């Protein structure tokens, strides 16, 4: 049995995920470690901010897909409130598409929900120490990109979308209507329509039907 330190001597973790089963699994995994404990849970961005202010955790684990909001936007929101906050993303989304985005937003690491449990604990300890955590494959990809210096790099069409465009694209793929997207993102319908047109242009799509089909297929491929 692992020796358990007092709460004061252990690093506190806030879990932000809209699936209670996932939160419970992470809690059991983390609480079983002698140097870590879960100080709070949240299912959406607003609740996360409330718990964050009350508990002041050492680390926040954030899922990218949250009810009514984006984990990416939550990361930016937390970082704007406290630049010292340490955050780790745990998601089913493709790391190759999101890793750089979450690092740019303010998180220090990305671990796939498909990884073995020991990798999750490794990622937590890595980020708590102030270091960046990515999979070996993603780290190699980023190093190769840097090694190519200023040479042009190939990017998938979806990678060219801005963070907000990607968020709208994902919501389209989940069957959200324009008005619903506008309400959830606190944007005007006109702004969402503008994002839709920009997305179509960047992806080489001509009609709303093509956009919807492309978005649905992409969401299914992400497996989330």
Counted residue by residue, the chain has a size of: 224
pLDDT of residue 146: 58
Buried b (16+ CB within 10 A) or exposed e, 60-88: bbbbbbbeebbbbbbbbbbeeeeeebbbb
The rounded Cα 47 to chain-centroid distance in angstroms is: 16
What is residue 177's predicted lDDT score, i.e. its pLDDT? 86
Assign residue 196 the CATH number of its domain: 1.10.10.10
186 within domain boundaries: yes
Same domain, 13 and 67: yes
| Tokens at 217, concatenated | 């297929």
Same domain? 106 vs 184: no
For residue 151, the model assigns a pLDDT of 45
pLDDT computed for residue 54 by the predictor: 95
pLDDT, residue 149, reads: 46
Q: How far is CA 219 from CA 70, 137, 157, 215, 222, in A?
A: 14, 22, 15, 6, 5
Integer Cα distance of 136 and 124 in angstroms? 16
Evaluate whether residue 11 is within a structural domain. yes
d(CA 85, CA 79): 6
CA distance 132 to 99: 11
- For 175, the domain range is 158-222
pLDDT tens, residue order, the chain (224 aa): 455 555 668 999 999 999 999 999 999 999 999 999 999 999 999 999 999 999 999 999 999 988 877 899 999 999 988 888 999 999 988 878 888 888 888 899 999 888 888 899 999 999 999 888 988 777 777 666 655 544 444 457 888 899 999 999 999 988 888 998 999 899 999 999 999 999 999 999 988 888 988 888 888 777 65
Same-domain pairing of 12 and 114: yes
Tokens at 81, concatenated: 């409130």
Both 14 and 117 in a single domain?
yes
Among candidate residues 144, 172, 201, the one where a domain is terminated:
144
**Closest alpha carbon to 33 in 61, 10, 63, 17:** 10
Residue linked to tokens 């120490």? 129
| Among 101, 168, 110, CA closest to 138 | 110
The Cα–Cα gap between 95 and 198 comes to 24
Q: Are 19 and 113 contained in the same domain?
A: yes
How many Å apart are CA 154 and CA 151, to the nearest integer? 10
Report yes or no: 72 and 135 within 8 Å, Cβ to Cβ: no
**Same-domain pairing of 132 and 193:** no
- The answer to whether 217 and 223 are in contact (CB under 8 A) is no
Alpha-carbon span 119 to 173, nearest angstrom: 30
Structural domains in the chain (count): 2
| pTM for the structure as a whole | 0.69
């Amino acid at each position: 049995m692992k020796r358990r330190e007092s709460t004061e001597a252990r690093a506190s973790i806030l879990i932000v995920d809209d699936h209670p089963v996932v939160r419970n699994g992470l809690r059991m995994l983390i609480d079983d470690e002698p140097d870590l404990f879960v100080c709070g849970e949240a299912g959406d961005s607003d609740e996360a901010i409330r718990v964050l202010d009350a508990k002041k955790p050492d680390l926040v684990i954030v899922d990218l897909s949250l009810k009514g909001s984006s984990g990416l936007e939550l990361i930016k929101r937390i970082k704007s409130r406290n630049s010292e906050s340490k955050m780790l993303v745990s998601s089913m989304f493709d790391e190759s598409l999101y890793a750089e985005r979450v690092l740019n937003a303010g998180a220090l690491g990305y671990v796939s929900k498909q990884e073995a449990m020991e990798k999750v604990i490794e990622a937590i300890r890595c980020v708590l120490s102030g270091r960046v955590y990515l999979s070996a494959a993603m780290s190699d990809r980023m190093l190769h990109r840097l090694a190519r210096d200023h040479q042009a790099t190939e990017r998938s069409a979806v990678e060219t979308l801005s963070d907000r465009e990607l968020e709208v694209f994902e919501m389209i793929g989940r069957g959200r209507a324009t008005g619903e997207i506008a309400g959830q993102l606190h944007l005007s319908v006109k702004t969402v329509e503008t994002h839709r047109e920009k997305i179509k242009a960047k992806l080489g799509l001509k009609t709303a039907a093509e956009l919807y089909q492309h978005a649905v297929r992409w969401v299914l491929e992400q497996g989330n």
